[in-house]
Amino acid sequence: MSIRPARMEDAPALAAIYAPAVLTGTASFEIEPPSAAEMAKRLMQVKSHGWPWLVHVTMGQVDGYAYVTQFRDRAAYRYCGETSVYVAPDAQRTGIGQALLSAATSAAGKAGFRQLIAVIGDSGNTASIALHAACGFERAGLLKAVGEKFGKPLDIVMMQRSLTS
């Protein structure tokens, strides 16, 4: 097992990992899963800014990824990043998510971020909330019924971690 920077040739694996979260879960508020070409475009965008996008590899197969982008586009947010972590369904609850989030957090600090925000889809997503808490994130807020998926209104849980203290 290893963690390394994502490469363009990882795009099909990234799309395959993300698709179940989009199609059957509420962690992502996307409705249609992006194609491998779209994931390659997103990867290129992240990397073009010098922000981290990491993958976890087990026996030659990418089975999880994490990346950090600027929280919002306006310049005042340039030191605040937003985390994203996804693990293949058959590799969940094995420690991969925590390893990826820890590595991404470290890389985010090196990329110049001072604060990290996790925007966790669905307040019932206890696994993601626990993962972020285990990596030093603290609950910062709850936005009620801001999304809807599968005919169900969904909250988002905001968690935050300082990289300067």
* pTM of this structure: 0.96
76-96 residue pLDDT tens: 999 999 999 999 999 998 999
Q: List Cα–Cα distances, 110 to 49, 104, 139, 162, in angstroms.
A: 13, 10, 24, 13
| 1 confidence band (pLDDT: 50, 70, 90) | confident
Q: In this structure, are residues 111 and 68 in contact, taking their beta carbons and an 8 Å threshold?
A: yes
Q: Beta-carbon neighbour count of residue 65 at 10 Å?
A: 26
pLDDT averaged over the chain? 97
Nearest to 81 by CA among 45, 114, 120, 41: 114
Q: List Cα–Cα distances, 83 to 59, 60, 61, 79, 165, in angstroms.
A: 26, 25, 22, 13, 18
Q: In this structure, are residues 159 and 129 in contact, taking their beta carbons and an 8 Å threshold?
A: yes
- CATH numbers and ranges of domains, the chain: 2-115 (3.40.630.30)
| 29 confidence band (pLDDT: 50, 70, 90) | very high
